[in-house]
Structure 1
Amino acid sequence: MQIQDLPYFDPGTPDARSGPRFLWWLGRNQLGGQFKALAWGLLHFVAVSGLPFCVGLAIQAVVDRSGTRLAVTGGLMVLCGAGIALGDTMLHRTAVTNWITAAARVQQLLARKTAQLGSALTRRVSAGEVVAVSTGDVEKIGWFVEAVSRFAAAALTVVLVCAGLVVYQPALGVIVAVGVPVLALAVLPLLPRATRRADFQREKAGRATELASDTVAGLRVLRGIGGEELFLDRYRRASQEVRRAAVRSARMWSLISAIQVLLPGLLMIAVVWHGVHLARDGRISVGELVTVYSAVMLLTYPLRHFEEIAMAYSFSRPSAGRAARVLSLERAMDSDGTRSAQVPGGDLYDPTTGLLAPAGRLTAVVCGDPDAAGLLAERLGGHPSEEGTSVLLGGVPLDELPLDCARTAVLVQDKDPVLLSGSLRELLDVPASGCVTAEAALSAAQCGDVLDALAQGSLDAEDPMDARITERGRSLSGGQRQRLALARSLITDPEVLVLDEPTSAVDSHTEARIADGVRSLRTGRTTVVFTSSPLLLDHADRVVLVHEGEVAAVGVHRELVHSEPRYRAVVTRETDEEAALSGVSEAVLEADDVVLDGVLEEIEETA
């Protein structure tokens, strides 16, 4: 796989059972790149390690006054230099390719999972963790996948050099062959503590990221209530905790690095001290002593990759664990679907509450608990209840439909919809049936003043549709954002449209016109509106009261206001005392009616 071939046509199905399993899966899926990096790494490291032997042979040739051997040694050194240059260049190229392709695969997997889960993702995983996984964690995972091949090349080189020294000069080679594994394994006792400190640092960093994300998202509200400084102080404290955790982690890794420098130095001293005595006794030549000394000195280069792989695994393991946790999340409905990819028609029915939205009608749902209303709206959009019960559309469970078909059939507009940055034309460029134009949707959502405001605020856009909308629509008021989001939902023209409090931020006059516009535009389509606004309820064909998780009453607005006290309490916001007074007043009026009827009857009999 080359960088120019990205993105992957199919990133594959990851093994998300655990972080190590996910890393192993990533490595298996780019074996070609791993073997390339291993081959170029071996060329590079072996060429570097071959220089000491060339230097030893050259010195011995000078001592023996052999010009032929000196020339041959010079040619070998040229070959080693060429191998070093070529191997280093291609190793770096291949390693970067492995890093980027592994990171790109993880990003594609995360993007695909985000598209599958939709708004359910941030309800299962915190926003800060999602940000951490999709940014820093991706780089750490790619780093480990890339470092594995370089570590393998370094380990094989160390084995080859130690074996070569034992054969070349057994008296000193044995010392090197015993000492090098000790150098490589000496830091193992420190790795668990370093890993724990690194994990603690990342945990603190994740909390700080989540706090920053929440603060930025609610900055406008925080400024309005004067809570900006409070949250900034919290972030400062969280940032300082991250700094202190990072310092503690860096201290441990610096200790590991110091040991990696100290122990090879001690090994080199031991080799030189023993080699000098052997040379004095005439048991080894000067060239052999220089060869072994140079080999031990250059072995510190591949040995550094032992420390790197330990650090890479320490940092990537929790990152891979977080990525695997996100990738293991399953959509509430079957992603493949067991039904044909055909949008069913008919009534929308929720078995959990007993809510029925007849096909082609405007159904308003009144629920005293906003959280319960939000959960019910999500369930109507295809997320089963805790018991696993799915909503039925035309008698077909939504979780048996393919993902694309289910999303085409039912569209749920959240209570707080998000507007992406870009022009208004781009905002309204969404998958749609083509039966509803942008002009009709904007008119039904009463966006005329929004278009005027966008045209006045844009200096270079002659057409309001080309006016730019800032990130999340922050330049617009809450009511303007809400109406643009409603227009975007109306353009899609789904079989079933579920709106959760679509007019909570607009005035009553605009709300009345929106109710009339939505009713007219959605004629013949199934529409479910969660609201407690009398203006919207009065335009509904059918009003359903959901109380304590069950349908408590069904009718039209004007009937339910008089006949259902629980409905009246939610819609009119009357208190218990007001309800009691209202009951007394109705009783008095009924008594007066009885008395009046009796008087009229007496008058008629007398007459």
Structure 2
Amino acid sequence: MPSLRSLPHADPGEPDARSGFRLLLWLELRQWRGQLASTAWGTLHMAAVACFPAAVGVAVQAVIDRSGTRLALCGAAMLLLGLLTALGDTMLHRTAVGNWISATTRMQQLLARKTVELGAVLGRQVAAGEVVAVSTGDVEKISWFVEALARFGSAVLATLGVAVALLVYEPALGIVVAASVPLLALSVLPLLPAATRRADVQREKSGRATELASDTVAGLRVLRGIGGEELFLERYRRMSQEVRRAAVHSARMWALISMVQVALPGLLLVAVAWYGARLALSGDIPVGGLVTVYGAVSFLFFPLQRFQEIAMAWSFSRPSARRAARLLALRRADGPAGQGDARAFEEAGEPERATAGAAESAAGAPFVPGPAARPGPGAPGDGPSRSAADVDPAAGEPAAPSGELADPSTGLRAPAGLLTAVVCGDPDVAGRLADRLGGHAPDAGGRPSVLLDGRELDALPLASARRAVLVHDKDPVLLSGTLADLLDVPRSGRVTPGEALRAAQCDDVLEALSRTLTGRDAASGDVMRAHILERGRSLSGGQRQRLALARSLVADPQVLVLDEPTSAVDAHTEARIAHGLKQVRAGRTTVVFTSSPLVLDRADLVVFVDGGRVAATGRHHDLLATHTGYRAVVTRSSDDEPAPGETADPAHTDLAEETA
């Protein structure tokens, strides 16, 4: 065992990550010196304790025989045994804890080194919550097994030594004890598989609860925006109760194992005492011999507890070691940094668009300034619910707005029920303006509030404003859970999940998710039960972006503000999304911040913002032909003068018409 002052290890080594068992074996071999020292001290401790019954038995017999010399020698022997017991126990504790700390440090160094090695790739290969769970709870369980194995080894040696000694000292009783000890040690084996399964279920449910809590904290801004705090709180309550029930279910089995480990040795002790008393009464063994055998059998309770400990340690450390090995086996993909993302787009048939911020815009879920109406009963998105349009003015609540949005500070106006596209030369300006339209970016400069149907958005009741306006951020976040959970958001009920998924062109996403179904879910073929990992890391950037768009479409607010909703998809998919967006949002006000000609061509009105003010409005083709600044932003051209009769790119126009 290395000195604790030498930690952390100068070189933690190269772990054998082919399986959990190989990782545990590798850890044992890496610190074999410490394990041998701990086993030796543990054996000394148990041997000293095991010798006490013999000393007591000799002392009792000396009293019976009235031998003062033997009684004095027995007293000296017990004093020596007491010193050896204290020394062995102290050193066992020191070496065992040292082994635990050494193994824990080694594992944490290995995990830290792997995290540094993978860098940003790690988040795309494994959930952040799993990395935290492995580096904390799992590492402790692995180290527990490493520590307990040495104590188990000393318990085995002590048990064998006592059994052999009893056979030699009192063969009649020794045979009974020697035959019973293996049965006692193996008595819990039939119960271990069930205990392990229950423990695995508990850990799985606990991991899901931790992942849900982590996602909820990470997406708190989103949840507050859509009014989903209570929804996710109820989900966490249900998950917590499942974890509690699983923990109680697991604890019952371990309690049964503990009962077996106490009851069976107790029965053996009763049998030995009864049989030994009969032998003593018949004169076959001396009274001192009976005391010695009784004390030796009582001692066996101690090492048998180590058998239960190693069984529990193995049960808990095995899945932990498997998860740690899986994490340590991860490798960075070949090629320069960033090519992994590009390959993910290519494999999904969605080459990454060369626009600024495209890689970042693939990562998450809309910021929504407030909740829409709660969904009604039934399948997600399929049941009617009470929306803003259903509020009765006679009941004293404000009537639903028609949805005209205007920003006096910039001159921007989005007519009610139309698809308005906003083009900004600066993406940062577009982001700030999108937040402002949702009432998310209060202006300290005293600029007037955004107007919703002529009324200041800031002056509206918060619930009304949240029901009316939803902002889909360019960096949306997908929370973990099933696809049904993802689309189970407060909504009007006008747009079903199926319609939203079709409008967002999620066919290939559904196909990819259907391949992840297992067990009963696979048999049912219900893709809504497919599990989406944390932040949608199992999907490509374009797939994540389209799922987030579908979620916003399901919410169906009166006013939907989209900030670059198609930045991570290819041109063909983008054209189809533009067509589907206009269809599913018919009669609703939609504001799209984009510079894509395919989306602009579908817009009812295009607004060009330059220098923080509206510079031009009109249709896409007209602005291309008449406005130099607009054409420079959309076509990324530096021409100062428009060509006579210039229109949109024919390829784009043909593609949009063909898609329609």
How does the TM-score come out when normalised to structure 1? 0.60
Return the offset for 1:133.
0.7
Q: Which residue of 2 aligns with 1:172?
A: 173
Partner Cα distance (2:287, 2:76) in 1:
21
- Kindly indicate whether the alpha-carbon contact (under 8 Å) linking 2:625 and 2:645 is maintained by their aligned counterparts in 1: no
What amino acid maps onto 2:249 in structure 1? R
- Kindly indicate whether the alpha-carbon contact (under 8 Å) linking 2:272 and 2:294 is maintained by their aligned counterparts in 1: yes
Q: Is 1:11 aligned with 2:12?
A: yes
The CA deviation string for residues 453-492 of structure 1, in whole angstroms up to 9 with x for no partner, is xxxxxxxxxxxxxxxxxxxxxxxxxxxxx9xxxxxxxxxx
- Kindly indicate whether the alpha-carbon contact (under 8 Å) linking 2:184 and 2:264 is maintained by their aligned counterparts in 1: yes
What amino acid maps onto 1:223 in structure 2? R
Partner Cα distance (2:263, 2:595) in 1:
81
Q: Which residue of 1 aligns with 2:207?
A: 206
Q: Which residue of 1 aligns with 2:393?
A: none
Q: Which residue of 2 aligns with 1:366?
A: 355
Return the offset for 1:122.
2.1
Which of 590, 593, 602 pairs up with 1:575? 602
Return the offset for 1:268.
0.6
Q: Which residue of 1 aligns with 2:614?
A: none
Return the offset for 1:128.
2.1
- Kindly indicate whether the alpha-carbon contact (under 8 Å) linking 1:157 and 1:302 is maintained by their aligned counterparts in 2: yes
Return the offset for 1:25.
0.7
What amino acid maps onto 2:319 in structure 1? P
Return the offset for 1:2.
2.2
Partner Cα distance (1:111, 1:351) in 2:
26
Q: Which residue of 2 aligns with 1:427?
A: none
Q: Which residue of 1 aligns with 2:478?
A: none
SS of residue matched to 1:276: helix
Q: Is 1:227 aligned with 2:228?
A: yes
Partner Cα distance (2:626, 2:138) in 1:
71
Partner Cα distance (2:176, 2:645) in 1:
114
What amino acid maps onto 1:365 in structure 2? A
- Kindly indicate whether the alpha-carbon contact (under 8 Å) linking 1:197 and 1:245 is maintained by their aligned counterparts in 2: yes
5 Å-filtered alignment, 1:146-295, equals 146-295=147-296
Return the offset for 1:285.
0.6
What amino acid maps onto 1:24 in structure 2? L
5 Å-filtered alignment, 1:58-69, equals 58-69=59-70
SS of residue matched to 2:354: strand
Q: Is 1:38 aligned with 2:65?
A: no
Q: Which residue of 1 aligns with 2:430?
A: none
Q: Which residue of 2 aligns with 1:145?
A: 146
Return the offset for 1:104.
1.0
5 Å-filtered alignment, 1:172-571, equals 172-333=173-334, 365-366=354-355, 370=358, 374=362, 547=571, 569-570=596-597
Q: Given the superposition, is the C-alpha separation of residues 592 and 285 from structure 1 closer, same or farther in structure 2, using an over 3 Å criterion? A: closer
Q: Given the superposition, is the C-alpha separation of residues 219 and 162 from structure 1 closer, same or farther in structure 2, using an over 3 Å criterion? A: same
Partner Cα distance (1:155, 1:35) in 2:
14
Q: Is 1:20 aligned with 2:21?
A: yes
What is the root-mean-square deviation in Å for CA atoms of aligned residues? Answer: 3.8
The CA deviation string for residues 479-535 of structure 1, in whole angstroms up to 9 with x for no partner, is xxx9xxxxxxxxxxxxxxxxx9xxxxxxxxxxxxxxxxxxxxxxxxxxxxxx979xx
Unmatched 5+ stretches in structure 1: 338-342, 344-349, 355-363, 376-481, 483-499, 501-530, 534-543, 550-566, 595-607
Return the offset for 1:220.
2.7
Q: Which residue of 1 aligns with 2:454?
A: none
The CA deviation string for residues 422-443 of structure 1, in whole angstroms up to 9 with x for no partner, is xxxxxxxxxxxxxxxxxxxxxx
The CA deviation string for residues 533-553 of structure 1, in whole angstroms up to 9 with x for no partner, is 9xxxxxxxxxx997469xxxx
- Kindly indicate whether the alpha-carbon contact (under 8 Å) linking 2:601 and 2:621 is maintained by their aligned counterparts in 1: no
Partner Cα distance (1:545, 1:192) in 2:
48
Runs of 4+ off more than 6 Å:
350-354, 576-581, 584-594
Q: Given the superposition, is the C-alpha separation of residues 152 and 255 from structure 1 closer, same or farther in structure 2, using an over 3 Å criterion? A: same
What amino acid maps onto 1:52 in structure 2? P
SS of residue matched to 1:83: helix
Q: Given the superposition, is the C-alpha separation of residues 581 and 182 from structure 1 closer, same or farther in structure 2, using an over 3 Å criterion? A: same
Return the offset for 1:573.
3.8
Return the offset for 1:279.
1.1
Return the offset for 1:587.
9.7
Return the offset for 1:255.
0.4
Partner Cα distance (1:269, 1:545) in 2:
77
Partner Cα distance (1:175, 1:264) in 2:
12
SS of residue matched to 1:150: helix
- Kindly indicate whether the alpha-carbon contact (under 8 Å) linking 1:143 and 1:312 is maintained by their aligned counterparts in 2: yes
Partner Cα distance (2:120, 2:624) in 1:
46
Return the offset for 1:72.
1.5
Unmatched 5+ stretches in structure 2: 347-352, 364-474, 476-540, 542-562, 574-593, 607-617, 628-641, 647-660
The CA deviation string for residues 57-97 of structure 1, in whole angstroms up to 9 with x for no partner, is 11111111222211221111111101110111111111111
Q: Given the superposition, is the C-alpha separation of residues 584 and 221 from structure 1 closer, same or farther in structure 2, using an over 3 Å criterion? A: closer
What amino acid maps onto 1:68 in structure 2? T
Return the offset for 1:371.
6.6
Question: What is the aligned-residue identity percentage?
Answer: 58
Task: Compare 10-19 and 578-587 and name the one that shifted more.
Answer: 578-587
Q: Which residue of 2 aligns with 1:425?
A: none
Return the offset for 1:132.
1.1
Return the offset for 1:4.
1.9
Return the offset for 1:223.
2.1
Partner Cα distance (1:545, 1:234) in 2:
32
The number of residues matched between the two structures is: 396
Partner Cα distance (1:174, 1:351) in 2:
69
Partner Cα distance (1:586, 1:333) in 2:
43
Return the offset for 1:3.
2.0
Q: Given the superposition, is the C-alpha separation of residues 574 and 156 from structure 1 closer, same or farther in structure 2, using an over 3 Å criterion? A: same
SS of residue matched to 1:365: coil
SS of residue matched to 2:355: strand
Q: Which residue of 2 aligns with 1:403?
A: none
